[in-house]
Amino acid sequence: MAEGIKIEIVSPESLVLSEQASAVTVPGADGYFTVMGDHAAMMTTLKAGFVTVTSGGAERTYYVQGGFADVNDAGLTILAEQAKTGADFDKSELDAAIVSAQEALNGATTDQAKQDAQTALDGWKNLLMEIDVVGLPN
């Protein structure tokens, strides 16, 4: 088994991330999936959600909206219509997104809607924790 995977997250504006990671969790069209070394080749569209990159025992979260994920021998490439790091948000945006996700969870009537809302809520909270650790201004 390979010792990780090369991950690149690319948006129309910039190369957001390019590094070696031990695992990457991606919001595919059919649900979240995790890519590790020696993953089978695949391609999928992305739904809006959170890419979680694990390397060196630490996790970082990136928000992506739309696009594609391509896993091949060279690694994982995410071509996102929009990709943001925690530093790209201000705290008030994340607070509002958390409130909205909590309201969606509270109003969810199906198991799938509850799962989607919980995933969104967890992602926004993780992103907020990251900017709190980095110490970005409010």
Give the per-residue pLDDT at 22.
Answer: 95
Cβ burial 51-82 (10 Å sphere, 16+ → b, else e): bbbbbeeeebbbbbeebebebeeebbbbbbee
Q: Please tell me the pTM assigned to this model.
A: 0.74
Instruction: Say whether pLDDT at 11 is over 70.
Output: yes
| Amino acid identity for residue 117 in this structure | A
Selected residue with higher pLDDT from 112 and 138: 112
Residue with the two structure tokens 């969606």: 104
SS3 percent helix, strand, coil of the chain, rounded to 5, is 30, 45, 25
Give the per-residue pLDDT at 132.
Answer: 63
pLDDT tens digits for 46-105?
988 889 999 988 888 898 988 999 999 999 999 999 898 877 878 888 889 899 999 999
Cβ-contact 45, 81 below 8 angstroms: no
pLDDT tens digits for 93-129?
888 989 999 999 999 999 989 988 888 888 788 777 7
Give the per-residue pLDDT at 16.
Answer: 94
